[in-house]
Chain A
Amino acid sequence: MVMKKLINDPKNVVNEAVAGFEAAHGDIVRVSHDPMFIARSDAPVQGKVGIVSGGGSGHEPLHGGFVGYGMLDAAVPGAVFTSPTPDPILAATQAVDGGAGVLHIVKNYTGDVLNFETAADLAGAEGIEVRAVIINDDVAVKDSLYTAGRRGVAGTVLVEKITGAAAERGEDLDTVVAIAEKVNSRVRTMGVALTPCVVPHAGEPSFVLADDEIEIGIGIHGEPGRERIKLEPADAIVDRLLGPILEDLPFVSGDEVLLFVNGLGGTPQIELYIVFRRAAEVLAEKGITVTRSLVGNYTTSLEMAGTSISVLKLDDELTGLWDAPVQTAALRWGR
């Protein structure tokens, strides 16, 4: 596979993308380039719990696209697929601390967890109360003593939106943490890769799939999932993803859910709606009602073709927070 990318120097991919993001969305965010983080333009908001997330770049719009009113106060982008170091996480934490404490929303990847932990220790030493919620929505990985635990994937978007709304409403740190944990405990995700992605500085695919193969249970950096199978029709693939998701929580007849069909970067919207159609059909058959939905590229893996399906069990509290106004580069409504 030839690397054909719209880039200049691979070393400048993140810097130049963040500069472009700043130029495009200066009404919503301000950018610190060194240490690098993206903060909402009015941060710190006095008396509000600050919410910081971050991780390797290459998953856009996660996380910078979710900085703004009603969602994240800051996002810290690392190198492509590499966790940011503690310094910029600490700087972002300080920049959004409005005196009510700061929540770190961290995807469960070892590097992210360790760097955010180190940053939280440093922030704590400076008198900022920091709590962390680790997102682990990926049912493809067995959560056991024998793995680093389930990965944090597209469900992170839902956690960030709902938790951000709670913080915007003025909830205190304990409540905001509890809501983040509640969303994480009720959302399940599984993905599939049709083609691999190419990390710019590596210049070659992160993994190899034969022309007729797909990987079920893929992680958002191309880490392997449950099994590699021959390509099937969309409906069969959706069934393979949705089955483990529904069994896991489990989701049962009578549940009201948010159905989120996420594109991994290289799959067109038209195919995502084919996926959504089948997923909604299966849920309806099981007596599960889709009351909220999200379809699009929100947690990507560079140019990987594929999708992930997330199902979040809603209640009145979560539905209200989902509907609350949000104004970020990637999600905007109600304001």
Chain B
Amino acid sequence: MTLNDQPNSALADAAPRLDAAWTVRWIRRSAEVLAANRAALNTLDREIGDGDHGENMDRGFQAVLPKLDALAEGTTPGAVLKLVATTLISTVGGAAGPLYGTAFLKAAGAVGAAESVDAAALVVLLTAARDGIVLRGKAEEGDKTMIDAWTPAVNAASSAQAAGSAVGTVLLAAADAAADGAQATEPLVARKGRASYLGERAIGHRDPGSQSTLLLLRAAADVLATA
């Protein structure tokens, strides 16, 4: 993205607001991407954790899919996010289940009963999701956790929105910042989670939670771009 992106770009015109249908497409795309990255996430997790992050995330999002089919007409983004939250909490296990579950639950709460989400509301949603993860996991930036992807993503989304960008640009900014953040976990020593037992042996490995965060945010941006 460049600073020259205009609100009247094709991207912004295609979907200036994110509605329930977009939210459903985002979750379906996330499920596809997580299934495709299942082995890769397991491998990252085997290096510095217990090797099941891909397994657990894939199981959780696959469990969401049939429930999306059963959603009533006229649902809201908040209702979809809440459905994702409760399903992840009850199917993922490990640390990722409560963390992502809480993120989606707080995101759902942030958008309430609104029928769609504009750029400003999107920033509120992302911020609430990140704050939920911090509340549950008590990690700070630099601890080599998913927060290292989430916080740069929230900051970038907020800056993009403050500069007047439309939702598509805001999502792209978030995904790009999450990618940088995930990469930036590689040289870190972990201070939270199972990788913290490794001490310096964790250096050189990417945090698997930061990678799954990147995949989810990238899916959100991609779904809008291809809508």
CB neighbors of B among A64-115 (8 A):
78-79, 81-87, 109-111, 114-115
A86 and B51 in contact, given A148-B193, A224-B197 (Cβ under 8 angstroms): no
Which residues of chain B are near A6, meaning CB under 8 Å?
A: none
* Most central of A79, A118, A148, A224 by chain B CB within 10 Å: A148
Interface size on B, residues (CB 8 A): 30
Q: Which of A145, A146, A151, A199 is close to B51, meaning CB atoms less than 8 Å apart? A: A199
Which residues of chain A are near B189, meaning CB under 8 Å?
A: 146
Q: Are B99 and A148 in contact (CB under 8 A)?
A: no
A66 to B93, CA, bound (A): 23
Q: Are A224 and B52 in contact (CB under 8 A)?
A: no
Look across to chain B and name the residue whose beta carbon is closest to the beta carbon of A84. B93
A32 to B51, CA, bound (A): 28
A147 and B191 in contact, given A110-B137, A114-B137 (Cβ under 8 angstroms): yes
A114 and B197 in contact, given A78-B93, A79-B93, A147-B191 (Cβ under 8 angstroms): no
Q: Are A81 and B192 in contact (CB under 8 A)?
A: no
Q: Within 8 Å of chain A (Cβ to Cβ): is B50? A: yes
Q: Within 8 Å of chain A (Cβ to Cβ): is B152? A: no
Q: Which of A84, A111, A219 is close to B197, meaning CB atoms less than 8 Å apart? A: A219
What per-residue 1/0 map shows which CB atoms of B162-206 lie under 8 Å from chain A?
Answer: 000000000000000000000000000101111011100100000
Q: Are A145 and B94 in contact (CB under 8 A)?
A: no
Tally the A-B contacts, defined by beta carbons under 8 Å.
90
Q: Are A148 and B192 in contact (CB under 8 A)?
A: yes
Q: Are B201 and A146 in contact (CB under 8 A)?
A: no
Which residues of chain A are near B96, meaning CB under 8 Å?
A: 111
Q: Within 8 Å of chain A (Cβ to Cβ): is B128? A: no
Q: Are A83 and B93 in contact (CB under 8 A)?
A: yes
Q: Are B94 and A117 in contact (CB under 8 A)?
A: no
A148 and B97 in contact, given A86-B90, A118-B89 (Cβ under 8 angstroms): no
A110 to B53, CA, bound (A): 13
Q: Are B194 and A109 in contact (CB under 8 A)?
A: yes
Q: Which of B91, B93, B95, B196 is close to A147, meaning CB atoms less than 8 Å apart? A: B196
Q: Within 8 Å of chain A (Cβ to Cβ): is B56? A: yes
Expressed in whole angstroms, the minimum distance between the Cβ of A226 and any Cβ of chain B is 10
A221 to B201, CA, bound (A): 17
Q: Within 8 Å of chain B (Cβ to Cβ): is A271? A: no
Q: Are B198 and A148 in contact (CB under 8 A)?
A: no
* Most central of A79, A147, A219 by chain B CB within 10 Å: A147
